[in-house]
């Protein structure tokens, strides 16, 4: 009976360790994709603020590619928040240009990634539990 208990304990411990490694791997993958999206969206948004149209579509291609990765691995909430941010980037290319000489009004219009970042933070916390 003692050997069976020892075997069961070993099996449960091994299974728990495997689950922890799997979660850590998923968490690391999501962190990389979230970071990649934030970097791509920030670069494209900065470009969009200064351009009158999307003169070079290759500047937004990394954002689309990262969006596809999010669709594969992230939650639906994170994908929806990323979709909103990406839409804002594209809209900004065709919006009146941002005046860099004057201070913008104090609103959240310029922080296109806030909802995405908050959603990602919540999702990463879920994997850490």
> pLDDT digits over 39-97, tens only?
999 999 989 988 878 888 888 999 999 999 999 999 999 999 999 999 999 998 888 87
Asked whether 115 and 88 are in contact (CB, 8 A), the reply is no
Strands (E), the chain: none
**pTM for the whole thing?**
0.79
């Amino acid at each position: 009976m003692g050997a069976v208990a020892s075997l069961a304990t070993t099996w449960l411990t091994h299974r728990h360790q495997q689950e922890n490694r799997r979660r850590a791997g998923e968490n690391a993958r999501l962190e990389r994709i979230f970071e990649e999206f934030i970097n791509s969206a920030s670069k494209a948004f900065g470009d969009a603020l200064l351009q009158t149209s999307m003169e070079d579509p290759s500047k937004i291609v990394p954002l689309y590619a990262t969006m596809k990765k999010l669709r594969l691995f992230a939650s639906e909430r994170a994908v929806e928040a990323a979709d909103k941010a990406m839409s804002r980037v594209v809209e900004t290319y065709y919006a009146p240009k941002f005046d860099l000489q004057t201070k913008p009004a104090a609103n959240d219009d310029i922080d296109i990634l806030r909802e995405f970042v908050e959603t990602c933070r919540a999702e990463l916390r879920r994997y850490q539990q």
